[in-house]
Chain A
Amino acid sequence: MTTVVVELRGCTRDYGAVRAVDALDLSVHESEFLALLGPSGCGKTTTLNLIAGFVPPTAGRVFLDGDDVTDRPPHLRGLGMVFQSYALFPHLSVRENVAFGLRERRVPAREIERRVGDALELVRLDRAGRQRPGELSGGMQQRVALARALVYRPRVLLLDEPLAALDKKLREGMRDELRAIQRSVGITTIFVTHDQAEALGLSDRIAVMNRGRIEQLGAPREIYEHPATRFVADFIGASTVLRGRAVANDRVAVAGVTLVVTSGALSSGADVELAIRPERVQLVPGGGDNVVEARVEGLVYQGAQTELTARLRDDQRVLALVTEPAPAPLEVGQTVRLHLPADAFMVLA
């Protein structure tokens, strides 16, 4: 593939007794858009801080374009960063904020003028140049932060949950815009988020993080369709995981029922974990292949659909989304039949 721009080799970062990042290996390629996806506290920001140089690793090395930069201070790394809180300078105008990096690089005043203008145009803020950040809306501040980080053409763009502070509607608009800008500039980008939809929609590759480690690294489709671990499956929305034993290379015994599994090769006799998305589970009136009986434990009406939680005979939990109106009225405590399609299972490692 293409050249590696950022590389972490065995990076660990401890805060006292807390291991924020745990022996992490990661390579980011030229022009790639890579998402670090994981729940709050899993070490995403710390990973960015290691790359940016704000915190030194407790162990391990950081490389930029093949050079060991572990001991290089942040201002000499030539990266661009958009902070979770945007971190715009409140005492400077929008233009001065954007010009900051160029002034540090001693770019001639004329050229600063031109490039700041271009950058503000890129984020569609050419009219707000004189304003102070405090006078702008969240979405506009976000774009100033982006322009400020891009204007000096950094080697890598680091984004720490840039959309998290925006409201839902704005967030979706900004997401598309961010991707378009990244494409047009062609800059290598590392994007931190805890929102799986954001990661799936934006990235070339996703690194799913858990407790300071990368659980799975791959293209969005690969992560979505073939989650490697229970954690990944759960995190990207396949919230039912069933434990069973393979009885043939395409059959698994679960709760006294033999299920056909066509989506992965199994070795007979092995314990396996099968994940399935709630939207693939169907409520059916009668028996048949891959139909299990379950007792309804919870119902959450959500308008277009109802989220149904049920327990199998051996107490394993299954989640299903029932499209409304439901074929028959549902009640907690009643026994229902659920169809688990053979091709809907994801076999976890």
Chain B
Amino acid sequence: MILRLVVAALLLFITLPTVVVIAVSFNPTAILSFPPSGLSLRWYENVLTYPQFQRAAVNSLVVTGAAVALALPVGTLAALALERGRLRGRNAWAVLLLSPLVVPGVAAGLGFLILAAALGLLRSRSVLIAAHVALVLPFVVRAVWVSVRNLDPALERAAASLGAAPSHVFRRVTLPLLKPGLFAALLFAVVVSLNEFVVSLFISNRVTEILPVAMFTYVVNYTDPTIAALSSLFIVATFVVVWLADRYLDLARVFLQH
């Protein structure tokens, strides 16, 4: 009974900010007040018609799409190498690959900024994409690594004994068996990249900025529920992605193994 109460309280605590934001987004007046004084969709309309948000949404899609498309194969190969390769200093490599998790965003952002400036890339999205690859890589490596670890090497030997050349073994056995890890990696990479803010703030401008940065800029200049509406859309989108993944993939299994 007490345990149940604790869990309920915890859930409330975790979800409360989200609930508040969603409630406020329907406020008919331009004040961020809670509880809302009525129901209105005007801030949603504002979100969808605000040009800077449109541009940022496109940027977000491009940056996240490109970053994930790059990080997935790279991270998969890294995970395979970490588990299978005859690596010297395997642990050092692992720490290096997972390090973006522990480097403060500000430090990473500053680093990318200086680098990008030196390379004259500050006006393009490529530096954002590069940064996002680095930031999502730890999640990709981690998720795929779990799957690689659970892969019985005897299966690949069996395939070889049946006549499959190494490339066929990879395509017909290794890759299909890594699927759960790859899906988890994809999911994490998308969510992390879409929500990335600190590092992106350092290296984007009005033309290249992604949604979270655009939202921040908006908040700095205006205080109306538009941002709450956009946040709500964001939350719902993320929720749908995770829910779909959970439904089709059994996330708990992917993450609780080992």
Contacts and interface: CB of A to CB of B under 8 A. Distances in A.
Nearest to A90: B177
B176 to A, nearest CB: 5
A143 to B, nearest CB: 15
A81 B177 contact: no
A152 interface: yes
B173 A104 contact: no
B161 interface: yes
A100 B154 contact: no
B160 A75 contact: yes
B159 A91 contact: no
B258 to A, nearest CB: 18
Interface in B161-214: 161-166, 168-169, 172-173, 176-177, 179
Interface in A83-127: 83-85, 87-91, 100-101, 104-105
A39 interface: no
Q: Categorize the interface residue count of chain B.
A: 20 to 34
B161 A89 contact: no
A162 interface: no
A80 interface: yes
Contacts, number: 65
B85 to A, nearest CB: 17
Given A89-B173, A91-B177, A105 B152 contact: no
Interface of B: prevailing SS: helix
B157 interface: yes
A311 to B, nearest CB: 47
B161 A79 contact: yes
Interface in B29-79: none
A102 to B, nearest CB: 9
Contacts of A149: 161-162
Contact of A74 (B157, B173, B176, B177): B157
A301 interface: no
A52 interface: yes
Contacts of B166: 73, 75
A87 B160 contact: no
A21 B125 CA distance: 58
A153 to B, nearest CB: 12
A75 B152 contact: no
B155 interface: yes
Q: Categorize the interface residue count of chain A.
A: 20 to 34
A83 B154 contact: yes
Contact of A91 (B158, B161, B169, B176): B176
A75 B156 CA distance: 11
A87 B168 contact: no
A148 interface: yes
Given A87-B152, A90-B177, A100 B157 contact: no
B173 to A, nearest CB: 6
Given A83-B154, A85-B152, A85-B154, A104 B163 contact: yes
B168 to A, nearest CB: 7
Nearest to A74: B160
Nearest to A145: B158
A81 B157 CA distance: 9
A322 to B, nearest CB: 45
Given A79-B161, A87-B157, A149-B161, 19 more contacts: A54-B160, A73-B160, A74-B160, A75-B160, A75-B161, A75-B166, A80-B161, A81-B158, A83-B154, A85-B152, A88-B158, A89-B155, A91-B176, A100-B162, A104-B162, A104-B168, A148-B162, A149-B162, A152-B162
Interface of B: 152, 154-155, 157-166, 168-169, 172-173, 176-177, 179
23 contacts: A52-B157, A73-B165, A74-B157, A75-B161, A75-B164, A75-B166, A75-B168, A77-B161, A78-B163, A80-B161, A81-B158, A84-B154, A85-B152, A85-B154, A87-B157, A89-B158, A90-B177, A100-B162, A100-B164, A100-B172, A104-B168, A149-B161, A152-B162
Interface of A: 52, 54, 73-81, 83-85, 87-91, 100-101, 104-105, 148-149, 152, 158
**A-B complex: 9 closest residue pairs judged by Cβ atoms:** A104-B163, A101-B162, A87-B158, A87-B154, A74-B160, A81-B161, A91-B176, A75-B160, A100-B162
